[in-house]
Amino acid sequence: MRGKKEMSKIISDRVEKTDQVVMLPSSLDNPYKAPPGTFRVGLFTICVSIAIFFGSLVIAYLLRAGRPPWQPIQLPETLWLSTGLILASSVTFEIARRMFRKGEWRLASRFLIATASLGMAFVASQCTAWRELVKQGYYLDKNPHSSFFYIFTGLHAAHLLGGLVALFVVLLAKSKRRELVDVSTYYWHFLGVLWLALFYVLKSR
């Protein structure tokens, strides 16, 4: 009987304590539900790791730039389209996040679909840029500049595909957790900022 009385005190999904009742997160009595904040910690860890990884590549790029047999390539104009697409997708994702916070899930889902479409268009635009370079005779091993271009854009596209997977998880999941929507949006914003930084670096050398 005593055990049942203690279990009856778990009546809230928010961490809170009073002089009579101890309220614990609902995730503690459900082993399949992640505790609040888990996704945010995971996002921070992932973003820091990605930033360090690409930061190391940028440093290597800057140290190698200009040294023979360095041959600057003319960046495809398609990259400007790619930049516009990823910025637009970041806007639609943010709108979806805010709509979801207001409880307007149907409207939010429409903006999520728009974000997914823009994200896939971004990847398609990158593929077009690679084809343009191939037509010009620039391959992965042609010279250091073209090598870095393929590495930067290819790895970024791979991480963006991961963001698309997270987006579809949010869109198709039966249980809509606000934290998961927030984390997916922030990760997408991070990829947008990362692309702007890589684009600037590639154009500056």
Distance, CA of 74 to CA of 86 (rounded, Å)? 21
| pLDDT score, position 11 | 40
Is a pLDDT exceeding 90 seen at residue 18? no
Chain CA centroid to CA 78, Å: 22
Whether 87 and 126 share a structural domain: yes
Q: What is the pLDDT of residue 29?
A: 43
- Give domain status of residue 60, yes or no: no
Segments forming the whole domain that contains residue 167: 37-49+65-204
Cα dihedral value 105, 106, 108, 113, nearest 10: 130
101 and 148 in a single domain? The answer is: yes
pLDDT at residue 177, as a whole number: 74
State whether 75 and 11 are in the same domain.
Answer: no
> Does residue 58 fall inside a structural domain?
no
In 14-104, which ranges are continuous DSSP H helix? 38-64, 78-101
Give per-residue pLDDT as tens, 106-125. Answer: 899 999 999 999 999 999 99
Claim to verify: residue 6 and residue 72 sit in the same structural domain: no
Measured CA to CA, the distance from residue 146 to residue 12 in angstroms comes to 57
Residues 180 and 104 in one domain: yes
**56 in a domain, yes or no?**
no
98 assigned to some structural domain: yes
CA–CA gap between residue 52 and residue 58 (Å, rounded) = 10
Written as six digits, the tokens of 133 are 């370079």
Asked, for residue 59, whether it belongs to a domain, the answer is no
Of residues 140 and 122, more confidence is placed in 122
Together in a domain, 24 and 70: no
Is 81 among the domain residues?
yes
**Same-domain pairing of 89 and 31:** no
Q: 93 and 21: one domain? A: no
- Does 5 share its domain with 41? no
196 and 132 assigned to the same domain: yes
Residues 89 and 167 both lie in one domain: yes
- Total domain count, the chain: 2
pLDDT in tens, 26-76: 444 444 455 566 778 888 999 999 999 999 999 999 998 878 878 888 899
Which residues in 11-29 are b (16+ Cβ under 10 Å) and which e? eebeeeeeeeeeebbeeee
For residue 173, what is the domain's CATH number?
1.20.120.80
Q: Clarify whether residues 88 and 4 are in a common domain.
A: no
Q: What is the pLDDT of residues 142-200, one digit of tens each?
A: 688 888 999 999 999 999 999 999 999 888 877 667 888 899 999 999 999 999 999 99
